[in-house]
């Protein structure tokens, strides 16, 4: 199974996926890592691991639709079975979703449908919930509205700040993402076996 991972920032979740592939616990090929801006730590991590990278800089395009088309083409060139948004902070439009139907996965640092959007950890903390967590889902055209594939709970501690809580959530988020990808890869193998035997 081939995946493309999209990042906007530090890419610590991406690093966990790279490490799981390297130690053999996740049987997928990271075909490429892409970003929406130049100079992200995520792309740097991929390059350090010898993974092909691309940057489709949002600011270099006259409008969102053209940027979406360029990003879609860059992702498609790597021929992925799945595209994973891992801290990728932009919504992709229908043109992209039609190219990878049900194949675009996202992770979110809250228990959806609670606290969607860019500040899931901050919003959960501000609301005073005692349990939050993370979600892996199929991304659609909405903000964190797609079908949920997996979730894990994380307790909120009285002394938590946004940063300490987010760090504990990310530990679960990485585990959940890797488990979900491993499950999809095993399912893809079973389908291939069935097809070969038919
Ligand atoms: C993750 O919690 C992701 O869900 C959120 O941003 C974080 C990404 O962190 N949108 P990193 O770039 O993988 O370190």
Tell me, in angstroms, the distance from the centre of ligand 1 to residue 45's CA. Answer: 14
- At 105-122, the pLDDT tens digits run 999 999 999 999 999 999
Virtual CA dihedral for 142, 129, 16, 143, nearest 10 degrees? 10
- At 14-65, the pLDDT tens digits run 999 999 999 999 999 999 999 999 999 999 999 999 999 999 999 999 999 9
Best probe residue, ligand 1, of 8, 19, 86 (max atoms within 8 Å of C-beta): 86
Band the pLDDT of 142: cuts 50, 70, 90. confident
Residues 126-155 have a mean pLDDT of 95
Domains and CATH numbers, the chain: 2-197 (3.40.50.170)
Q: What's residue 194's pLDDT?
A: 66
Q: At residue 195, does pLDDT exceed 90? A: no
Give ligand 1 pocket residues (Cβ under 6 A): 7, 9-14, 86-87, 107-109, 170, 173
- At 58-96, the pLDDT tens digits run 999 999 999 999 999 999 999 999 999 998 988 899 999
Residues 123-135 have a mean pLDDT of 98
pTM score, whole prediction = 0.92
Band the pLDDT of 198: cuts 50, 70, 90. low
User: Tokens representing 24?
Assistant: 């053999």
Virtual CA dihedral for 129, 173, 171, 161, nearest 10 degrees? -30
Q: Is 95 a catalytic residue?
A: no
């Amino acid at each position: 199974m081939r995946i493309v991972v999209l990042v906007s920032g530090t890419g610590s979740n991406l690093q966990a996926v790279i490490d799981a592939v390297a130690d053999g616990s996740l049987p997928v090929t990271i075909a490429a890592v892409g970003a929406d801006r130049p100079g992200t730590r995520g792309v740097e991590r991929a390059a350090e691991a010898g993974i092909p990278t691309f940057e489709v800089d949002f600011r270099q395009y006259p409008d969102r639709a053209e940027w979406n088309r360029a990003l879609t083409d860059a992702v498609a060139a790597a021929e992925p079975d799945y595209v994973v948004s891992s801290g990728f902070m932009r919504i992709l439009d229908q043109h992209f979703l039609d190219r990878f139907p049900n194949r675009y996965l996202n992770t979110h640092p809250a228990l959806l449908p609670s606290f969607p959007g860019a500040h899931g950890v901050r919003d959960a903390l501000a609301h005073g919930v005692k349990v939050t967590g993370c979600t892996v889902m199929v991304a659609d055209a909405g903000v964190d509205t797609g079908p949920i594939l997996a979730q894990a709970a994380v307790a909120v501690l009285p002394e938590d700040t946004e940063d300490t809580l987010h760090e504990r959530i990310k530990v679960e988020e990485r585990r959940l993402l890797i488990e979900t990808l491993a499950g999809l890869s095993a399912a893809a193998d079973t389908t291939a076996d069935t097809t070969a035997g038919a």
